[in-house]
Amino acid sequence: MSQPDVSAPLLELRGVRVSFATSRSLMGSPGASTVAQAVDGVNLSVSRGEILALAGESGCGKTTLARAIMGLQPAQEGQILLDGVPMGKTSRALRRHRRRVQLIFQDPSAALDPRQTIYESVAEGLRVQKTPGVERDLVAKALSRAGLRPPERFFTKYPHEVSGGQRQRVLIAGALALEPDVLVADEPVSALDASVRGEILQLLLKLRDELGLAIIIVTHDLGLAWMVANRVAVMYLGRIVENAPAEDLLTSPHHPYTKALLSVVPENHHQEQMILSGETPDPTSIPSGCRFHPRCPLVASGQARRLGIEDRCTSEDPQLTESGSDRAAACFAELVEVPSAQSPSTTTQDPTRATLEDS
Amino acid sequence: MSILELKDLRISYASSEGRLPAVRGVDLHVDRGEVLGLAGESGCGKSTIAASVLRLLPKDAEIDGEVLLDGEDVLTMGWTRLRAVRWSKASIIFQGAMHGLNPVKRVGDQIAQAILIHDESASKESAARQARELIEQVKLPARRARAYPHELSGGQKQRIMIAMALACGPELVIADEPTTALDVMVQAQILDLLKGLQSELGLATLFITHDLSVLTEVADRIAVMYAGKIVEEGPAKQVFDKPKHPYTRALGSAFPEIGDWSYRMSPVGLAGDPPHPNDIPSGCAFHPRCPVATAECADHEPRLESVGPARSASCLLLEPVQNGQMA
Ligand SMILES: Nc1ncnc2c1ncn2[C@@H]1O[C@H](COP(=O)(O)OP(=O)(O)OP(=O)(O)O)[C@@H](O)[C@H]1O
Ligand SMILES: Nc1ncnc2c1ncn2[C@@H]1O[C@H](COP(=O)(O)OP(=O)(O)OP(=O)(O)O)[C@@H](O)[C@H]1O
Ligand code: SF4
Ligand SMILES: [Mg+2]
Ligand SMILES: [Mg+2]
């Protein structure tokens, strides 16, 4: 077995593809068996002490990707690496992987067994993993890290006896008990009442800072990303289409899809609303060329033609191209467009970007 | 005259632990052509208010106060009159109703059926024609009338529900969480449609949601509810941007403006859950969770009072003002 590479990102995905065999396409047209390419070549990495927000429309493949990262969903292609070491395929390797990478499911009420005490829920993972140590102490430590203090007070309680926010903390405690390096949280607050969400987000920030966890937050809420994320990756139809530091991406998006997503966040109308038509693009028939081109406002408005990229949009698959040091967008316009005209950036402009675009 | 006016509305449900007060004295009005947003967290009583407007509450619910629909009290109406005002004066898009479409019936037929039930003089043919027109009005192709619910996406089903609510030409539409559970982009599409219909038809709307930020898109005024009572009310933009009540402030901070640096890496939230109706705290019902509560808050219940032009809030720490004067 190879040695961990310390310079490598903690978690890295290289060209990950996950497909499902389905009997009919999404919008109801019956047909023979088809393949849904839910995750279609994802490159992504997260470092220790970093929160990455993974955003995108319903059905774009976020949960499938999260499950693949956990090893709960086999990837047909590509690699998932921890500390530079590819995830193994044997059940023993998978079990070890799942200790270091923990998933928090979306709905706290559905994820907890109502007949199990909070102690039992948190201890379950420890038993599955055969974690050494005194179980009682490990459970207490995890609960207290998740902000449930004093932990003993929660041992014998059942899920219905605590608040919604506390139930989410119990799930987080269950994940923390195994002392993971990576936490993947699938919509961790969307089932919670609005006033309670902030507390859970504060907890995630604290865990990032105090334990140096790498955290991937799957969310459809870009406002949430603004509150907690270091980086944001925007996913469209199984592919990351833009990846950048949160402040850059959220205040001066490059990819037309990111721009559209940001423009429909209520109370965020600094730019004109770009409401895309249609919904939940169908992974059983991914458009040729740029997968976003049938809905792309640049194509519809003629801007892509004026920029001389329209032919490429409809025939070539754009890759995530680095523009500047730390951000990338999969769009042909990225290489030709002068961004300052469309989105006056409030953040520091990257000097390397200008040279890239001038050339 | 307002199209809808609620006066000291009180509603309780029967439960094994006695009466459950879900709505505890609400005064509200919706003017003609106006969109009133009603916001608040799960269980605060929003859907209960919605159901009371067309008297659709369960039999064991006790209702007190007045529900004036175009000046007529719905609570004392006879059944014939009630049948006549339902859907033609006011209609409801129920929370989650798009999942309740009949799976084995074409959606056009379901809309036509709603028309026939409420307009006995209509012929089958004219109802079918109207259904197609309504489907076009919600920006779907008329041929979608022949679709079954499973052939439609969530957003398309919600459009069908909106078409159904418009079937009898109501003056008021009550939309209970019409975009909850829809994807962000689809939510924007539906909000856009509703805005268009409101201005096109001059529809008054009671728009119910737990997401305060959505209301800044559609509402003229916002009323914020907590534990069965209105705690703040005022022009939408003002309530969202400059909330007076600490609860409104907490609710609003769950939806920060992107680019507002005061929220960057510092989310704001409240401890605890909203109270259950059988366990409502003394004094100000919000006091156990309130970040600025004083000892007095546990003993004295604040009243909804004027705190500025067109604005009211119920908090002991706010100075009431004479109507029309600045706070
Ligand atoms: N087990 C499965 N079998 C077949 N198709 C699947 C399966 N799981 C997911 N899919 C399809 O893969 C695509 C991606 O689904 P996924 O659940 O990952 O999306 P998501 O981005 O998490 O969406 P949401 O925001 O609604 O949770 C969808 O088109 C979905 O229908
Ligand atoms: N039929 C009923 N019988 C008994 N209690 C009920 C009934 N319907 C609602 N309640 C209770 O009354 C309170 C108010 O419920 P209501 O549905 O009006 O809340 P809401 O504000 O619409 O919440 P949500 O945002 O979850 O839809 C809740 O505590 C609920 O449990
Ligand atoms: S590559 Fe072309 S179609 Fe794709 S997002 Fe960019 S401009 Fe739009
Ligand atoms: Mg998902
Ligand atoms: Mg409700």
- The whole-number pLDDT of residue B325 equals 44
Q: Cα separations (Å) of B7 from B24, B50, B313?
A: 11, 14, 17
Residue B129 φ then ψ, to 5° = -65, -45
The finding on whether B19 has its CB within 6 A of some atom of ligand 2 is no
pLDDT per position as a tens digit, A206-246: 999 999 999 999 998 999 999 999 999 999 999 999 999 99
Question: Residue A174: pLDDT above 50?
Answer: yes
At residue A91, the 3 state secondary structure works out as helix
Distance, CA of A333 to CA of A298 (rounded, Å):
9
Please give the angle made by the CA atoms of B7, B9 and B11, to the nearest 5 degrees. 170
Q: Is A64 helix (H, G, I), strand (E, B) or coil?
A: helix
Res. A6 pLDDT band, cuts 50 70 90:
low
Distance CA B288, CA B298 (A): 8
| Interface A-B: count of C-beta contacts within 8 A | 136
Distance (Å, whole) CA B277 – CA B20: 6
Average pLDDT value for residue range B249-259 = 90
Query: What dihedral do alpha carbons A204, A207, A208, A211 form, nearest 10°?
Result: -170
CA distance A46 to B223: 42
The DSSP secondary-structure symbol of A46 reads E
The predicted structure's pLDDT at residue A325: 65
Contact B269 A198 (CB under 8 A): yes
Our mutation pick for probing the ligand 3 site, out of A241, A298, A323, counting the most ligand atoms within 8 A of Cβ, is: A298
Q: Which residue has the higher pLDDT, B76 or A349?
A: B76
| Disruptive mutation site among A148, A195, A206, A224 for chain B (greatest number of B CBs within 10 Å) | A195
User: Could you give the CA distance from residue A51 to residue A115 in angstroms, rounded to a whole number?
Assistant: 33
Q: Which of A13, A27, A11 is nearest to A284 (CA)?
A: A27
Distance CA B110, CA B92 (A): 16
How far apart CA B207 and CA B226 sit, in angstroms, is: 16
CB contact under 8 A, A198 and B184: no
Degrees to nearest 5, angle at CA B199 with B194 and B200: 95
Instruction: Name the residue type at position B168.
Output: C
Task: Specify the pairing of strand B35-39 against strand B4-13.
Answer: unpaired
Question: How high is the pLDDT of residue A31?
Answer: 53
What pLDDT band is residue A3 in, cutting at 50, 70 and 90?
A: low
Instruction: Answer for the pair B243, B249: CB distance below 8 angstroms, yes or no.
Output: yes
Query: Counting Cβ atoms within 10 Å, is residue B268 exposed (0-12), middle (13-18) or buried (19+)?
Result: buried
What ipTM describes this predicted complex? 0.86
The region of weakest confidence among A12-21, A202-211, A275-284 is A275-284
The model's confidence at residue A180, banded by pLDDT at 50, 70 and 90, is very high
Spatial separation of the C-alpha atoms in residues B164 and B97, rounded to whole Å = 11
The CATH architecture to which A48-70+88-235 belongs is 3-Layer(aba) Sandwich (3.40)
Nearest alpha carbon, ligand 3 atom 5: A331
pLDDT digits (tens, 9 = 90+) for A83-121: 999 998 898 999 889 999 999 987 767 788 999 999 999
**B13: β partners:** B20
| Residue B313 and residue B296 in contact, taking contact as beta carbons nearer than 8 Å | no
Contact A292 CB / ligand 3 (< 6 Å): yes
Contact B263 A226 (CB under 8 A): yes
Q: What percent of chain A has pLDDT over 70?
A: 85
Q: Which of A193, A219, A263, A271 to mutate to test the interface with B (most CBs of B within 10 A)?
A: A193
Judge contact between A191 and A180, C-beta under 8 A. no
Torsion of CA A321, A327, A330, A333, to 10 degrees: -90
CA distances, A76 to each of A38, B110, B284 (Å): 11, 44, 58
Summarize pLDDT for A283-324 with one digit per residue, the tens.
999 999 999 999 999 999 999 999 999 999 999 999 987 666
Q: Quick one: pLDDT at residue A78? A: 96
pLDDT at B327 over 50: no
Q: What is the C-alpha to C-alpha distance for residues B178 and B155, in angstroms, rounded to an integer? A: 10
Domain ranges of chain A: 48-70+88-235, 252-281+288-345
Q: What is the DSSP letter of A279?
A: -
pLDDT tens track for B83-121: 889 888 999 998 888 888 999 999 999 999 989 988 888
Hey, which of A299, A301, A306, A312 would you mutate to test ligand 3's pocket, going by the most ligand atoms within 8 Å of its Cβ? A299
pLDDT bin (cut points 50, 70, 90) of residue A341 is very low
The pLDDT of residue A26 is above 70? no
- In three-state secondary structure terms, B72 is strand
Say how many residues make up chain B.
Answer: 327
Distance from C-alpha of B235 to C-alpha of B313, rounded to nearest angstrom: 12
Q: B130 CB under 6 A from ligand 2? A: no
* pTM, full prediction: 0.88
Q: Which element (helix H / strand E) includes A314? A: helix A310-315
Say if residue A354's pLDDT is above 50. Answer: no
* Domains (range + CATH), chain B: 2-89+170-326 (3.40.50.300)
DSSP annotation of B274 reads P
- Rg, Å, chain A Cα set: 21
Cβ atoms of B244 and B251 within 8 Å: the answer is no
Residues of A in contact with B214 (CB under 8 A): 266
